Amino acid sequence: MKILAIIPARMGSSRFPGKPMAKILGLPMIGHVYKNVSSCKDLTKTIVATCDEEIIEYIESIGGQAVLTSKEHERASDRCTEALHVLENQDKIKYDIIVMVQGDEPMTIPEMISQAIRPMLSDSSIDVINLLGDINDEDEFKDRNCIKVVCDLYDNAMFFSREPIPTLTNTSNIPMKKQVCIIPFKRDFLIKYSSLKSSPMEIIESIDMMRVLEHGYKVKMVPTTYITSPVDTLEDLQKVEKLMSNS
């Protein structure tokens, strides 16, 4: 199978403007993500999808490839769809699986990508997968930048939220889980995703996967024990830099 990784990134983050080029251990964050993702041997190709010339120039300076996309996209998945069309038209190739890896996940390692795509390779009924991580403390559980998720008995997502879900009580033994933004799509399903109308909970929660669920499709969740921490704020950057320097 031809498997393409797309890393969406933009400089205009409302919570942390310019964060893709913010340095971690002396290297721009987007550089860490690109290096780690492109090291996965299961991938045919890795590109960055961005609306910013600064990011394109940097990725090309380290020998990578970037695709210029519209500034109008609200969702990373829509940005990836545009980049996919551009790349396939340019290279005269059709990919089978598209792995979206958020550009603010510098602790991504190649093994996480392999882990995420493996179920899709063996089960043709799966359209989209998310990695599922553990939430280990109450502060992360209450952090709106941490996307919480609850699953059904078959490891499919039931709901994603920036609010604490599920409700925990003193007698609850349900573990707290979070979305890890390494997301393989079947190529045709990614294109279908972009053709679907934006949905109410997608807009309220600002979470791509809610569009999938609200239109009646399933999101398969794959548990991972690998530790990762996205960067949404300057404080997150400092936390991640400390974690990475100790690893």
Q: What is the CATH number of the domain that holds 169?
A: 3.90.550.10
Q: What is the pLDDT of residues 57-86, one digit of tens each?
A: 999 999 999 999 999 998 999 999 999 999
Please determine, for residue 171, whether its predicted confidence score (pLDDT) is greater than 60. no
Structure tokens at 190: 């990614």
- What total number of domains does the chain contain? 1
Confidence of residue 13 (pLDDT cuts 50, 70, 90): confident
% of the chain beyond a pLDDT of 90: 89
Range of the structural domain that residue 141 is part of: 3-245
Q: What local confidence, expressed as pLDDT, does residue 172 receive?
A: 64
Residue 233: which residues within 8 A CB-CB, separation 6 or more? 15, 16, 145
For the chain, what is the mean pLDDT?
94
